[in-house]
Structure formats: C-alpha cells, structure tokens
Amino acid sequence: MTHDDLEDSFASLELAPDAIDRIESAALASFDASQRSLTAEWVDLLRVRPALNGALTLAAALALLVVSPLGALLVALLRRE
C-alpha cells in the first residue's frame, strides 16, 4: 500500500461541512431538550433512596464547605477560640 492509497482511504473518512453542521445542530438540539435544573436532579436523587442518598448529599455538602473559602474562614474562626 502506498502513501497515496493511505491518503485516499483517510480522505473518505472526512465529513463534508454540511454534514458537520447537521451533526452539530442535532447534538445541540438533543442537549437542549434533555437539560434539567440542578434542583430537579437533586430531588430525583433523594427520591430514589432517601436515607443513603441523603447521607451522600450531606457528605458532599460538607466537603464543599470544607474546601471553599467560606469553610476555611469558619475553620479559622473555630480554631481561634
């Protein structure tokens, strides 16, 4: 197989610009149709297994508080006393 044969083979894999535009618009339409609010996602998560998912949600919230600047201020204030 020569270099020209390989170039011809790979050239057939390239999409035309109109095909790329159609794929992009279809992907964006699908994404926009499936968007939900973060609150709705959390409520659905808690609805499935309230105890376990509630504990995981609490752990995630505490982890975010600890690594946030506000959490660092709270820890500094608690250590000061």
Cα of 60 vs its chain's centroid, Å? 16
Q: What is d(CA 56, CA 60) in angstroms, rounded to the nearest whole number?
A: 6
Domain ranges of the chain: 3-34, 38-80
What pTM does this model have?
0.40
Distances (CA, A) of 23 to 12, 46, 71: 17, 35, 44
Q: Residues 6 or more apart from 53 whose CB is under 8 A from it? A: 45, 46
Instruction: Report pLDDT for 24.
Output: 92
**pLDDT tens digit string along 19-40?**
889 999 998 888 887 777 878 8
